[in-house]
Amino acid sequence: QRVLRLAEMCRRLETEEEKVLPFYPSSLAEGEQQDARRVLEETPTEPLAQAMWDYVGLERFWQRFNKAKLEEQALERERAALSQRNRQLRQLLRQYLAGISITQDMLGQPNPL
């Protein structure tokens, strides 16, 4: 019952778009989808399957949770790539600034300035 209450609470927190649109488009053919629906509607007979039946209501939660984790990993990779690019640009800027800087050694030598 706690699982069902948690699933109901999660459902209440969904946006209208999340409630209306399917979470993932199915990659199954129509016949495969019907077979899957039929299997899901059958009452399980094995003890493990019966225990899992109690948690079916959390399926949408776990889908969203996994999607959020995937997005988090993608953002972390993007952040790492941007950090690397930032380091490269800073190094190029240091080199440029070093090239246009005037030092005492440069003043002692002939230069176009």
- 9-13 mean pLDDT: 71
Tokens, residue 86:
């930032």
Q: Please give the pLDDT value at position 46.
A: 78
Domain-located, residue 76: yes
Domain-located, residue 22: no
> Does 113 have pLDDT greater than 70?
no
Domain-located, residue 111: no
Domain range for 60: 31-106
43 versus 1: which is more confidently predicted?
43
Domain-located, residue 6: no
What total number of domains does the chain contain?
1
pTM value?
A: 0.47
Q: Please give the pLDDT value at position 73.
A: 94
Domain-located, residue 18: no
3-state secondary structure at position 20: helix
Domain-located, residue 52: yes
User: Which of 30-34, 44-48, 67-71 ranks highest by mean pLDDT?
Assistant: 67-71
Domain-located, residue 37: yes
Domain-located, residue 81: yes
